[in-house]
Chains A and B, each alone.
Chain A
């Protein structure tokens, strides 16, 4: 049977349970697709032996009639997740050679559910970037191209390898993480679904930390139903992460009723950005019309502090990063610089970190160091945390008014060319997160759903934002939007 790698999780699960296919066949199809897709540079560490072992184990479980939904489903894992015995280096040189002695909670839960790990996926270094170009492995490439044009495009970032792999059918789904948009922006750039859950829904234990008050893991899949299935396996309280919530995990798939009659969808006027491409504005209107046709009520809302989300984020995230990344000191793991005669421990730290961290990571660590330093802490860091409280209050107020979900564009543009932003000011790159970053600051769940193609034939996504802990409601809305948009396009294979 060919093309097994193109199945959705839901279809694979059903076929596995009926005995129509085996996980071994499914896994072999994905491994072959990965072998043939070197040009995408999505998988950076391949684990075919682990995959085949797990596939055989999954087949045995399925045969025994004891098979959770993810059992036997081949997935890719972002390089940010620690996976026991398998390189896990956050796409950074400073973690060169690091093989964790432990497994992250999210990947352990996926393993427990029977999912098959195919390998580790490319990303921006320490998840800092929006184009995958800060990776020590070199950038991943978007399987999509502009019509009649060979220019290689970014798959977005930071979860760019995950997005490219899912869009190119190298795996059925992948894990991502999202600190300012790192699941949703690459999902939108590659025409797939990307869900960032409520802060605290998935354990952060064993995920290399970037900004601990913002980081959250989530599924990247081809359909909303698959996101619901995979989130169910990833989520849940974990004694090892004190910020993971003691809230039961509902059956997210069962929530996909298709019924959103009477629900109120907010359209935030502050998201109408100056200079936004007309196509994105039009798509946004179409999305609202689709939800209205399904019986929802469209309501104009205001989130007055939206404009300040990016600058607040670019204080808070680097501040937390500078603290989290202090652990990369050349002592316990990863790279240590060669030292000159007479070098002491400070030279060891400084040379190791200069060699091990890429430019963007260095920049953010230094910005974070500056905003936390004596004399500037109040002016920058505390002020940013106050603005963050106001941004969250904006959302609290609209939800208190009865809004069920908020519809916005996912990104301010379609995928751009690799290298196109190389000479741009770092702040220009940060603008990629303009529609997504508010969601992290407020700790809310958000999902990117593919909704159309632009005139160059590239996918565009819409974002839905939900109430805290209401991933089930959010997925219901996303499912309706997905069905109405009927996005079925796939990138033409060139790799």
Chain B
């Protein structure tokens, strides 16, 4: 499976990473190289094998559905690049 420039552009956009047009061909080559390495997996007979979901056979723990924490708006916002009036601020999302 080889990745062309258009696919590289699409993947970069899906990953929300800006890539300059000039850099797309090199990116496509690198991604293709890695995918070629992964193609080895096609040699393995995986018929009837369940995909692993948990490496240790354990039942996911449950807890009471209750509020255990909260009331710390200042601390939640302390690291925000832009926080105003108790909210995270971002560019306009809805026209």
Contacts and interface: CB of A to CB of B under 8 A. Distances in A.
B67 interface: no
B95 to A, nearest CB: 9
A343 B92 CA distance: 9
A130 to B, nearest CB: 15
Which of B3, B18, B30, B39 has the largest count of A CB atoms less than 10 A from its CB? B18
A462 interface: no
Interface in B15-64: 15-19, 27, 30-31, 33-35, 37-44, 46, 49-56, 58, 60-61, 63
A334 B11 contact: no
A330 B81 contact: yes
B41 to A, nearest CB: 5
A353 B18 contact: yes
B60 A426 contact: no
A98 B79 contact: yes
Given A336-B81, A346-B16, A370-B11, A390 B58 contact: no
A346 B52 CA distance: 34
A385 interface: yes
Nearest to A339: B91
A314 B50 contact: no
A362 interface: yes
A380 B40 CA distance: 11
Interface string A291-323: 000000000000001011011101100000010
B60 A314 contact: no
B85 to A, nearest CB: 16
B16 A353 contact: yes
Given A343-B91, A357-B17, A383 B79 contact: no
A31 to B, nearest CB: 28
Interface residues of A, number: 74
A256 B22 CA distance: 58
B91 A373 contact: no
A353 to B, nearest CB: 5
Interface in A346-405: 346-351, 353-354, 357, 362-363, 365-371, 373, 380, 382-390, 392
B20 to A, nearest CB: 9
Nearest to A430: B37
Nearest to A310: B37
A468 interface: yes
B34 A426 contact: yes
Contacts of A199: 55-56
Interface residues on B, range: 35 or more
A492 interface: no
Contacts, number: 167
Contact of A427 (B13, B16, B37): B37
Contact of B31 (A245, A351, A366): A366
Contacts of B53: 385
Contacts of B58: 200, 243, 245
A302 B91 CA distance: 57
Contact of A426 (B3, B30, B39, B41): B30
A242 interface: yes
Contact of A312 (B3, B31, B41): B41
B19 to A, nearest CB: 7
A383 B35 CA distance: 13
B38 A307 contact: no
Contacts of B56: 198-200, 245, 443, 468
B78 interface: yes
Contact of B52 (A200, A246, A357, A388): A388
B11 to A, nearest CB: 5
Nearest to B8: A366
Contacts of A314: 34, 37-38
A213 interface: yes
Given A312-B41, A348-B90, A392 B17 contact: no
A288 interface: no
A367 B51 contact: no
Contact of B80 (A333, A365, A425): A333
B15 A365 contact: yes
Contacts of A50: none
Contacts of A425: 33
A1 B86 CA distance: 53
A148 interface: no
A326 B49 CA distance: 30
Given A245-B56, A331-B90, A362-B17, 19 more contacts: A100-B79, A243-B54, A243-B58, A308-B40, A308-B43, A329-B16, A344-B91, A353-B16, A357-B17, A363-B30, A365-B17, A366-B27, A367-B31, A369-B14, A380-B35, A380-B38, A389-B51, A390-B49, A427-B33
25 contacts: A99-B78, A213-B54, A242-B60, A245-B58, A311-B38, A311-B39, A311-B40, A314-B37, A331-B81, A333-B79, A333-B80, A336-B81, A348-B91, A354-B19, A362-B15, A363-B27, A366-B8, A369-B11, A369-B14, A370-B35, A373-B11, A373-B14, A386-B51, A389-B52, A390-B49
Interface of B: 3, 7-8, 11-19, 27, 30-31, 33-35, 37-44, 46, 49-56, 58, 60-61, 63, 72, 75-76, 78-82, 88, 90-93
CB-based closest 5 A-B pairs: A443-B55, A385-B51, A336-B81, A333-B79, A350-B18
